[in-house]
Amino acid sequence: MTKTKAILLKITPPQFLTLGFIIIISIGSLLLSLPAASTDGIRTPFIDALFTATSAVCVTGLVVVDTGTHFTIFGQVVILTLMQIGGLGFMTMATMLALAFRKRISLRERLLLQETMNQASLEGIVRFIRRVLVYAFVIEIVGALLLAMRFSLTMPIGRALYLGIFHSISMFTNAGFDVLGTVNGPFSSFVGHVDDPIVNFVIIMLIFLGGIGFIVLAELWDFSKVRKLSLHSKVVLTTSGVLFLAGAVLIFIFEFTNARTLEPLDITGKLYSSLFQSISPRSGGASTLDIGAMRSATQFLIVLLMFIGASPGSAGGGIKVTTFAILVGAVIAMIRGKEDVVFFNRRLAKDRVHKALTISIVALSAIVLFTMLISATENVEILTAMFEVTSAFGTTGLSMGLTPHLTTLGKVLIITMMFIGRLGPLTLAFTLAPGEKELYRYPEGKIMIG
């Protein structure tokens, strides 16, 4: 056994995933900094290339330069590749190549796949990865064709097809990148399609399907045969639906009379915009309204939605909708004097509640710390800083306009937060300090609470 192989065998799955993301981001940064990647033929500053590569691999969508006008087709294809790898997971993509060449998947690779897809068991993991790849490519192809048909009404078919492919992959992987800067102006996202029913519907569905997680997608695919959903899927779909509808209603109410957002639109446009801006914080990152022009109440609502994020097993970030559901369930159980958290007549184990609480506290602590740092380094209001930081943690990509004007230190802070958000706070913690099994327990003590 070689020394290098011995070292690799000692690396834990969380550490391997962290190292893998760092390597891919580094390669992407070097490619995006090449003169061939920028439209002016001048090297992009490495910090900007690093920011863009991190945002693509971590499927965030925050940008310091406009993707459509700053990068050439070569640069955009690099970003597209990074989004696909980051969205599906580099181990998933590596497995696809291994299967294509009929290579055997080792036990260690299966463990890494289990960690990547957030699976509870190794059983059937390779078969599950095959299904993930099929679901992803089918959904992305359908989305690309629908968007291409719409775009072809106003531009050449080749350009329309390219835009359809780029935005379908970007939205399904919840990356939030767009190349519409050449169409609607730099940093415009989908503002030019605010009342377009086809674009709104396709993008909303891509974000939703990409955000509910592959486990739920698999069960929905088989539902017509088995007529049954797991507890996980029921909680994900229920919580996601409630957050989506509640967010849309509140955005509609808050922005109804805002002359810079909803007021100029007809009732159909108002409904489209409210639904779009409600689903996008689920880690989608696209927008059809100027986020910076929204009222503070709406911006704070979006911060809360970004903090919750998408579902486990998806490319989205945040604490995840299941974590949020468990926290709400625990509060309700405590208020009602119940010992257990119960969903759909099923009791949750105590360790699930403890893990949900840990993830939430660690995430909230990171957001508070980085918000204070960004507010100090960029000299901006606390809500503006919190919005950008939470967007980075939730790998969302929505911005109030601060990101393109970040200082070098501010860019480093947001890069760090995007990385934390994509890996997950607990995965990163296990990477830095792998947990050890307790050999003994201390006597029980009591502390007054409340």
Give every CB contact of residue 2 below 8 A, 6+ residues apart in sequence.
none
Q: Give the DSSP per-residue string, 390-414.
A: HHHHTT----SS-GGG--HHHHHHH
Q: Which 8-state DSSP code applies to residue 290?
A: -
**C-beta separation of 414 from 395 below 8 A:** no
| The pLDDT value given to residue 183 | 83
| The pLDDT value given to residue 424 | 74
| pTM of the model as a whole | 0.90
**C-beta separation of 281 from 395 below 8 A:** no
Q: Which of 241, 267, 238, 232 is nearest to 252 (CA)?
A: 267
Q: How far is CA 167 from CA 103, 246, 251, in A?
A: 32, 26, 24
Q: Which 8-state DSSP code applies to residue 340?
A: S
List, in sequence order, every beta strand (DSSP E) within 67-223. none
Q: CA angle 338-339-342, nearest 5°?
A: 75
| The pLDDT value given to residue 69 | 94
Pairing mode, if any, of strands 346-347 and 342-343?
antiparallel
408 phi/psi in degrees, rounded to 5 = -60, -45
Interhelix angle 350-378/296-308, nearest 10 degrees: 130
Alpha-carbon torsion (279, 284, 289, 292), positive or negative: positive
**C-beta separation of 333 from 340 below 8 A:** yes
At residue 24, the 3 state secondary structure works out as: helix
Q: How far is CA 309 from CA 189, 276, 410, 420, in A?
A: 20, 15, 23, 14
Radius of gyration of the chain, Cα coordinates, nearest whole angstrom: 22
| The pLDDT value given to residue 237 | 95
pLDDT in tens, the chain (450 residues): 455 555 555 666 667 777 888 999 999 999 999 999 999 999 999 999 999 999 999 989 999 999 999 999 999 999 999 999 888 775 565 555 555 556 666 655 566 555 555 555 556 667 777 887 888 899 999 999 999 999 999 999 999 999 999 999 999 998 999 999 888 888 889 998 999 999 999 999 999 998 998 888 888 888 888 888 999 999 999 999 999 999 999 999 999 999 999 999 999 999 999 999 999 998 888 999 999 999 999 999 999 999 999 988 787 889 999 999 999 999 999 999 898 999 999 999 888 899 899 889 999 999 999 999 999 999 999 999 999 999 999 999 999 999 999 999 999 999 999 998 887 765 655 555 555 556 667 787 777 766
| The pLDDT value given to residue 155 | 92
**C-beta separation of 53 from 29 below 8 A:** yes
Which H or E run includes 365?
helix 350-378
